[in-house]
Amino acid sequence: MERKTTRPRLVQAMMDIWALPDLRRRILFTIGILVVFRFVTHVPLPGVDLAKLQEYFAGSPLFGMLDLFTGGAMEKFSVAALGVYPYITASIIMQLLVPVIPRLQAISQEGELGQQRINRITHIATIPLAALQSYAMIALLRSQGVTQDIVPLTMVNIVVTMIAGTMFLVWLGELITERGIGNGISIIIFAGIVTDIPGIVGRGIIAAVGGNPGGLITYVVLSLAMIVLIVIFVEAHRRIPVQYARSSFRGGRMYRQSGSTYVPLRVNTAGMIPLIFAIALMQLPATVATYFMNPSGQDPNFWNTVFNLFQSNTVLYQILYFALVIGFTLFYTMVIFEQMNLPQTLQQQGGFVPGVRPGKTTADYLNGIIRRITFGGALFLAIVAILPFITQRITGVDLLIQSTAMLIAVGVALDTMKQLEAQLTMRRYEGFLK
């Protein structure tokens, strides 16, 4: 029987969550881990002039955007300056290599043990990626006069510490996944984005008070519209009708039963992975250039030009970013869809799409649908990714919160809410999403 209540559904759901000891413990554990994460982001590394570092980040659109994802840890040059992005890059590379390399594919098919081995390889691959990124960051800051003269032993110490900071954050994320609520790595990124929002809003208000109230109003309207579109986009899916025919033998007689349901094909099957991977790849030219470019004050060379071209406020960066998001979305979705092997699963379970023959015909039918809806989703994802650049060029108003960060934050929030709803549903409580 449905419980009668006069309370709003959201309020009732929150009361139900706190009434369950295990859910309350998971939420408090997640909050505690996030407090530890925020503490780590304020532990600085030696050898950096923080005033010059903040001034440099304010004038560098690329590093300003990356700093948003780390919750300000990069701008503070803390032990967590790299965030969890080396691990994310390693994870994406592994996901792309598994279907291509037969040995890795065989390991991934060994069940839970195989997945543990893949995770171990991913953790190992994170270490050299973190080392390269940390050294590149220090080399760039040194070329810009932000860091002091660092002796080799101190350089090694800083690099090792930054690697340890990244691996510590990965461990915290895995603790959240195991004992808390939601995907731990995503929650870490979400926390980094959200904790910077008050400061960003404060700077926007100060700018409005200083003579640009119209810019603030435009910014608020565009931000709200973007959030609505992101929610619609993340939740959008197409339902494929499926019928099942089952036979059962009872009392010496054969009974045939049938039923119908649907398979939801999401418009954004790839999630936020294409955005993160595109950002990581777009960092590569500027990162490589930091090893060879001339320091500030000297005549610029070819690598200085490369570094300047791959700043996030350039037309070249935005065009390549747009194309990469579309390409990675299409490619990653097809890889994930192939691994799902949906046509074979339906056939094994006695299901079929009405009017479509099982087997290859069903596979071609589903592949055609997923390509069409994914292309629309990829186009929307790419437009949202470059929306701040377009807005700034047309209206002169720069979106202080990057649309990519908003997309990731909204996606993580929706996913966490769904997990909470699932936990409530399992315990026969009414959730707050339908």
CATH topology (fold) of 1-206+402-434: Preprotein translocase SecY subunit (1.10.3370)
Please give the average per-residue pLDDT across 250-274, as a whole number: 67
- The H-or-E segment that residue 239 falls in is strand 237-250
Instruction: List the alpha helices (DSSP H) in 341-399.
Output: 342-348, 360-395
Structure tokens at 66: 């990356």
- CA max distance for the chain: 91
Distances (CA, A) of 175 to 36, 169, 180, 413: 12, 10, 7, 18
User: pLDDT digits over 143-188, tens only?
Assistant: 777 776 777 888 888 889 999 999 999 999 999 988 888 888 888 8
Please give the average per-residue pLDDT across 70-74, as a whole number: 73
**pLDDT confidence tier of residue 9, bands split at 50, 70 and 90:** low
- Residue written as tokens 């004992």? 179
pLDDT at 432 over 70: no
pLDDT at 248 over 70: no
Compute the mean pLDDT over every residue in the chain, rounded to the nearest whole number. Answer: 77
Is domain 212-399 classified as CATH 1.20.120.1730? no
Domain with CATH 1.10.3370.10 in the chain: 1-206+402-434, 212-399
Please give the average per-residue pLDDT across 117-132, as a whole number: 91
**The pLDDT of residue 164:** 92
The sign of the CA dihedral 89, 92, 93, 94 is: positive
Q: Which residues contact 97 (CB under 8 A, 6 or more apart)?
A: 104
Structure tokens at 141: 């800051």
**Is residue 136 within 8 Å of 290, Cβ to Cβ?**
yes
**The pLDDT of residue 433:** 41
Q: What is the DSSP string of 109-129?
A: TSHHHHHHHHHHHHHHHHHHH
Q: What is the pTM of this model?
A: 0.75
User: pLDDT digits over 305-330, tens only?
Assistant: 888 888 777 888 889 989 988 988 88
